[in-house]
Amino acid sequence: MKIASWNVNSLRVRVEHVSDWLKANSPDLLCLQELKMIDDDFPVDHFRELGYHSAFTGQKTYNGVAILSKTPLTNVVTDLPNFEDPMRRYISADVTFGDQDSMRIINVYCPNGQALDSDKFTYKREWFAKLQESMRETLAQHSNTVLVGDFNITPGDIDCHDPKRWSGKIHCSDIERLMLQKLMAEGLFDTYRHFHTEGEKFSWWDYRGAGYRANEGLRIDLILSSSDMLDRAISSDIDETPRKLERPSDHTPVVAQYNQQ
């Protein structure tokens, strides 16, 4: 079973990039962030023709998340539990492949936070606290759980191209990394880092300057597996191919593969 996550930074602009990637890689699940479109505009029929069911929640101009799945999605939730928020940042569903037990997939577009002394950072902290609370309940109910998305936090210095330059700044601050650690302490594991101990591999590069060509990136897009799912994991990688296209997203897909039972 192949699960992928990709912040596409406008699905309207990059629907063909997504379609081509689906055809070339055939993931069982592809979770998208930053749709930047209302629900009525989501290309359900287009993805159905490619063999994918869709669940999504969007809004105009900002945010928006979706799950594309080769098999039907059930028990879909489109709001972060117990948190009133008009921003479309959370979606979860049950999915079953073959004869295996159902799995809970959660896709998030976590707040950026802007700066550590901003109101937006207060919102980020509150949002993460509620996500942690929600994941505690989810993991208690579903041993097969995978949480994916754009977390807007680097797990550690190894996930940043220049730790000294980014030290104490948004995405790389100690307080943000503690927020992520507390979330993972509920029973989640960084699937990519489970297979790769080396650095210099990132999932986001700034459009400004020669960010991608110089590999001045951050690894902020993660696939977090429950213990049972980590036991099934056989690989995890970052696919830079779409970042090399014309008019690319500033993010690129992250992928994990699991054995089915």
Active site residues: 109, 150
What residues pair up with 66 in beta bridges, in sequence order? 32, 56
Residue 43 CB: number of other CB atoms within 10 A?
Answer: 18
User: Mind spelling out the 3-state secondary structure of 165-194?
Assistant: HHCCCCCCCHHHHHHHHHHHCCCEEEHHHH
Q: What are the residues whose beta carbons fall under 8 Å from the beta carbon of 113, sequence distance 6 or more?
A: 120, 121, 123, 124, 152, 170, 176
**What is the per-residue burial (b if ≥16 Cβ within 10 Å, else e) of 179-193?**
bbeebbebbbbbbbe
Q: Which residue has the tokens 């972060």?
A: 80
Distance of CA 51 to the CA centre of its chain: 21
Helices (H), the chain: 11-25, 44-49, 119-141, 163-166, 174-184, 191-195, 227-232
Whole-angstrom Cα distance, residue 81 to residue 163? 34
- Contact between 171 and 220 under an 8 Å Cβ cutoff? The reply is yes
Report the amino acid identity of residue 2: K
What sign does the dihedral 225-156-162-194 (CA atoms) show? negative
Give the single-character DSSP code of 23. Answer: H
